[in-house]
């Protein structure tokens, strides 16, 4: 039985990262937006759905009109988002209390057969990958290191992966190395560039179409589904279930026996509270995510990870550890 991990923005929030609403507010404070009535209006229209809906509307606007103004608006917002990642990553770099000096978070991460993340920040590159995965090998998991498969550094003198720039390798080199823990960023990363030197980040709407343009990300998604559909237990930390392509894969895997453990402040209520049919005077029907939970959920943890991993053998720590039994 494989044990794999899927991380969303809620994971990084444990160490000061920003969620969708906080990114919305980051955009709101930028003078390039609040001094532009057109962009400001579009941003407010996307408040409930989050900043990715805002970015998606700009992508769609440029795709539909191909005009100079639409391109300029899109470039302004993409530039701000790049700055946002720089600000957030700088905060992570200055965080010297990553693991409470007890290595419990690092030890948890090494127990997984693969780590998949939707996050594009560099928290784990800075504090986990750069700390030598093999030093925290747990039990029978004797990792000799980590691997970011399908990617290669183009800054050879950057020792820490958080300080490096990566680009995709040739497709012939798409392989998983023995005894190296796979670290797979399904939506790219803030320090990745494509072969044409553009940022390799998947954001906004229609992510499936964006992913299909990059061979390495298409391969990543195939790996994700391969793990899910072959006797797998999945731990999810901080994912909001807002990506249709990810949800579809989870729902299909549930039909084949996928079991999942959800770490989120809402716990087992997360899917229920997302159901818009709960509103007054509407007929109550289960969503696909509620069906997924009822079919596959084997446990939850509502407490913040930084609280759970302060102390070895706390009740919450032991509950999470039982995932691996």
Predicted confidence (pLDDT) per residue in 194-206, tens digit? 888 788 988 877 8
Last residue of a domain, which of 72, 93, 114? 93
How much of the chain, in percent, has pLDDT values that exceed 70?
92
Most confident residue range from 89-93, 209-213, 250-254 = 250-254
Same domain? 182 vs 268: yes
Rounded CA-CA distance 13/49 in Å is: 19
- Yes or no: say if 105 and 131 are a contact pair by the CB < 8 Å rule: no
Rounded to an integer, what distance in angstroms lies between the CA atom of residue 200 and that of residue 167? 8
The domain of 149 spans: 2-16+95-324
Q: Are residues 172 and 261 in the same domain?
A: yes
12 and 41 fall within a common domain: no
Give pLDDT tens digits for 97-128. 788 767 888 888 999 999 999 999 999 999 89
pLDDT of residue 38: 86
Give the C-alpha distances (Å, rounded to integers) separating 277 from 283, 295, 316: 6, 20, 32
φ, ψ for residue 220, nearest 5 deg: -55, -45
Element (DSSP H or E) covering residue 201? strand 199-201
Q: Is the pLDDT of residue 227 over 60?
A: yes
Position 279 scores a pLDDT of 64
pLDDT at 306: 84
Mean pLDDT, range 173-181, rounded to an integer? 92
79 and 41 together in one domain: yes
* 89/233 same-domain check: no
| 79 and 227 part of one domain | no
The mean-pLDDT minimum among 5-14, 73-82, 133-142, 161-170 falls in: 133-142
Q: Which two tokens stand for residue 23?
A: 């990114």
181 lies in the same domain as 247: yes
Whether 190 and 101 share a structural domain: yes
CATH number, position 237? 3.40.50.1220
For the entire predicted model, the pTM comes to 0.92
The model's confidence at residue 159, banded by pLDDT at 50, 70 and 90, is confident
Instruction: State the sign of the Cα–Cα–Cα–Cα dihedral 210, 215, 217, 221.
Output: positive
Residues 56 and 196 in one domain: no
Q: Which candidate, 293, 189, 283, 291, places its Cα nearest to that of 236?
A: 293
- For 268, counting Cβ atoms within 10 Å of its Cβ (0-12 exposed, 13-18 middle, 19+ buried), the class is middle
Q: Do residues 288 and 246 touch, judged by C-beta distance below 8 A?
A: no
Residues 86 and 132 in one domain: no
Same domain, 318 and 240: yes
Same domain, 160 and 303: yes
Q: Is the dihedral of CA 315, 317, 319, 322 positive or negative?
A: negative
Read off the pLDDT of each residue in 272-280 and give the average, rounded to a whole number.
Answer: 74
Number of domains in the chain: 2
Among 63, 93, 123, identify where a domain stops: 93
Last residue of a domain, one of 43, 68, 93: 93
* CA gap 176, 216 in Å, rounded: 13
């Amino acid at each position: 039985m494989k044990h794999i991990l899927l991380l969303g923005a809620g994971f990084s929030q444990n160490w000061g990262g920003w969620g969708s609403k906080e990114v919305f507010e980051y955009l709101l404070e930028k003078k390039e937006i609040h001094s532009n009535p057109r962009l400001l209006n579009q941003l407010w229209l996307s408040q409930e759905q989050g900043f990715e809906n805002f970015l998606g509307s700009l992508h769609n606007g440029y795709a539909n009109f191909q005009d100079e103004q639409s391109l300029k608006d899109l470039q302004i917002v993409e530039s701000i988002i790049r700055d946002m990642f720089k600000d957030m990553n700088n905060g992570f770099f200055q965080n010297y209390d990553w693991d409470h000096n007890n290595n419990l978070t690092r030890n948890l991460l090494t127990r997984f057969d693969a780590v998949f993340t939707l996050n594009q920040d560099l928290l784990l590159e800075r504090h986990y990958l750069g700390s030598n995965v093999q030093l925290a090998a747990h039990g029978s998991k004797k990792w000799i290191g980590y691997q970011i498969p399908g990617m290669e550094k183009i800054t050879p003198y950057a020792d820490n992966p958080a300080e490096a720039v990566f680009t995709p390798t040739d497709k012939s080199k798409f392989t998983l190395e023995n005894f190296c823990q796979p670290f797979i960023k399904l939506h790219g990363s803030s320090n990745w560039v494509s072969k044409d030197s553009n940022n390799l980040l998947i954001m906004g709407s229609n992510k499936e179409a964006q992913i299909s343009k990059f061979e390495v990300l298409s391969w990543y998604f195939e790996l994700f589904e391969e793990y899910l559909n072959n006797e797998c237990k999945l731990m999810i930390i901080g994912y909001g279930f807002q990506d249709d392509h990810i949800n579809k894969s989870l729902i299909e895997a549930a039909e084949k026996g996928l079991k999942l453990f959800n770490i989120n402040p809402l716990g087992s209520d997360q899917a229920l509270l997302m159901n818009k049919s709960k509103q007054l005077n509407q007929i109550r029907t289960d969503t696909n995510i509620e069906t997924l939970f009822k079919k596959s959920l084997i446990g939850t943890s509502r407490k913040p990870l930084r609280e759970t991993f302060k102390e070895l053998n706390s009740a919450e720590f032991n509950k999470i550890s039982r995932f691996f039994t």
